[in-house]
A and B are shown apart, each in its own frame.
Chain A
Amino acid sequence: MTDSASLRRAPALSIAGLSHVYGAGLLRREVLTSIDLAIAPGEIVILNGPSGCGKTTLLTIAGALRGAQSGSVKHGHVELRGAGEGDLRKARRLIGFIFQAHNLHNSLTALGNVRMGMEAHGSGVMADWKARCADMLARVGLSNHMSDYPATLSGGQRQRVAIARALVTAPPLILADEATAALDGKSGRECVELIRNLAKGNGSAVLMVTHDARILDVADRVLTMTDGRIQVRP
């Protein structure tokens, strides 16, 4: 469900006519074919589909981690297609990424990891970093684990630290790829609800890739991808 007010604003993410090809010559393989997609601010979209259909590829292009080869990819009004390394880097700072694994820095405490999410924005935002990071960790229920290192946290706790890091700067767009795949059903559910509640609170748009059918209900919209195309629902 999309509310009409948010549609009047520019979409947090809008993709039009995006195709993507890996390799060249005999190895050439088209993994995305004319994708069109718009996500309004505050909207939560779940993307699912069979393995290898191109979900991760779409997410990395939408997240400015990979250059767009054709079509158009916009964050708000900012076009990413043809953007230089510096512009892509700037765009990444306005995205909260939540990965399946390998997502925290092992030499930093929970607080230090969340801080890294803020520090990427430069010294301008760091004035009250400690209060903001601590508050963010409190909101994901980790007040008592702020100075713990990732190695001593459980999988669910680690993922919550990652959520805190992704959301501490209240980015307009959150991208999550199989964020719950490594977690048991209960903690997976908790994480997804956290993402939803925090995103709704900030008015952030969320694009979440998942195989987990049990969490589809948190989404405003569910998209299914097959063979590099997003299925059009009747």
Chain B
Amino acid sequence: MFYRTPLGWLQLRHRPMRLVVAICGVMFANLLMFMQFGFLGSLIQTTVQLQSHLIGDIVISSTSGRQLQGIGTVPRRRLLQSLAVPGVRDMTEVYSGLIDWINPTTGKTANLTVIGIDPEVPVFLDPDIDAQRFKLRTLGSALMDRRARGDWSAVIRSVEAGGVLTTEISGRQARVEGLFSMGATFGADGTLIVSRETFLSFTGARSAGAVSFGLVRLAPGVDPGATVEALRTVLAYEDTKVETMAEFLASHKRFLAQDSPVSFVFRTGAFIGLLVGAAIVYQILYADVNEHMSEYAMLKSLGYSHGYLLGVVCEQAAILAVLGYLPSLAAAAAVYAVVAKATALPLVLTFDRAANVFALTCLMCAVSGALATRRLRAADPADIF
């Protein structure tokens, strides 16, 4: 059986230290990309995780807000106007804000997203939350996120034991009466769900007239597009926007993925990883070509073509890409697990992300390899005698 001598591989293997450095370089670059993309993905996912649990066809919110934490407010009067639009079955106001809560287990201050809803209306898709909303009827009652960041075992244990945890939030008497699962975001350690009245008492400064957003539900069979148009005519205020639920989620995601400074930071981080990796691979391949100039000239004298030598360098670039990528994939999985545990952020090694990073690795090695082959032109068989 004939196979081409794997010259690129044999040359790399001949210099084990250099090969290890190259693999580490690619691995480092990949891990950096995995982390940056992972955080960005997690940021996007967590920022809309609460919104994507909401029941509603149309969302009325302030134009000033592009994230839940800074969503701005809409005057309640305006939201009520929506009820007059044909096709609208009902509308419920949702209040959202941030509060500090001293974690009874650790004594540390946690920063929680607090959501105020009408306990009489289904607001969350999650059946677990919906089944417990009646518990919020009493002032001071709250549902707590069991996946919040930090050690909440004291709260979780006493609630799970069927009891109620009485504590103090923002100087008010509070009772945690139930649990649900949501998870932390970049900006908040977890979520607390309360009634509107409780919300207003916890966040003293907010007035009942300043609603975060309104969830509009349509009568069966009504076209959301047409109703959005109708609502926009009625609510034609500069600072109020009407979006379908899908548009609302998409605009929050888009802002994060493209326009937010934090996404720029993560994408820059990934790009730097790519550059560092490319520089290392280029250095290694260039050094290898340089070291083998006389051998390459000798190969040309044996009748090998320039294309053959290009193939050797490409083979080396491909080997570095694969050998650097595989361990970085394993390392990324491990680091994801550790970081996810420590931060309560969802960091999942998705197939898409693994494929994207591999594609970038290949690109990185291909560019470095192509640059390194420029040196090959100097391999002249006429110079070797």
A interacts with B: yes
The interface of chain A, by Cβ under 8 A from chain B, is 56, 59-60, 63, 65-66, 89-90, 92-93, 97, 99-100, 102-103, 105-108, 112, 115-117, 119-121, 123, 126-127, 129, 165, 177
Closest to A123 in B: B2
6 additional contacts (CB under 8 A) given A105-B292, A112-B5, A116-B299 = A65-B301, A65-B381, A89-B300, A89-B304, A107-B10, A120-B302
A105 to B296, alpha carbons, bound, how many Å? 9
B14 within 8 A of A: yes
Q: Which residues from chain A contact B303 at a C-beta distance below 8 Å? A: 89-90, 92-93, 120-121
Q: Which residues from chain B contact A93 at a C-beta distance below 8 Å? A: 302-303
A108 to B8, alpha carbons, bound, how many Å? 11
Q: Which residues from chain A contact B2 at a C-beta distance below 8 Å? A: 123, 126-127, 129
SS class, residues of chain B in contact with chain A:
helix
Contact: B301 with A102, CB < 8 Å? no
Number of interface residues of B (CB under 8 A): 23
A126 to B303, alpha carbons, bound, how many Å? 16
Contact: B301 with A119, CB < 8 Å? no
B295's partner among A89, A105, A115 (CB-CB below 8 A) is A105
Q: Total number of A-B contacts with CB less than 8 angstroms?
A: 70
Query: Min CB distance, A2 to chain B, in Å?
Result: 26
Most buried by A among B2, B7, B11, B301: B301
Contact: B298 with A99, CB < 8 Å? yes
Query: Min CB distance, A98 to chain B, in Å?
Result: 10
Most buried by B among A99, A127, A165: A99
Q: Which residues from chain B contact A90 at a C-beta distance below 8 Å? A: 303
Contact: B5 with A65, CB < 8 Å? no
Most buried by B among A66, A119, A129, A165: A119
Q: Which residues from chain B contact A63 at a C-beta distance below 8 Å? A: 301
Query: Min CB distance, A35 to chain B, in Å?
Result: 17
Jot down 25 A-B pairs with beta carbons below 8 A, ordered by A.
A56-B385, A60-B385, A63-B301, A65-B385, A89-B304, A90-B303, A92-B301, A93-B302, A97-B302, A100-B385, A102-B294, A102-B295, A102-B384, A103-B298, A107-B10, A107-B11, A108-B5, A112-B5, A115-B5, A119-B4, A120-B303, A121-B303, A127-B2, A165-B302, A177-B385
The interface of chain B, by Cβ under 8 A from chain A, is 2, 4-5, 7, 10-11, 13-14, 292, 294-295, 298-305, 381-382, 384-385
Query: Min CB distance, A147 to chain B, in Å?
Result: 13
Contact: B382 with A107, CB < 8 Å? no
Q: Which residues from chain B contact A103 at a C-beta distance below 8 Å? A: 298
Query: Min CB distance, A166 to chain B, in Å?
Result: 9
Most buried by B among A107, A123, A129: A107
Closest to B4 in A: A119
Q: Which residues from chain B contact A59 at a C-beta distance below 8 Å? A: 385
Closest to B288 in A: A107
Q: Which residues from chain B contact A107 at a C-beta distance below 8 Å? A: 7, 10-11, 13-14
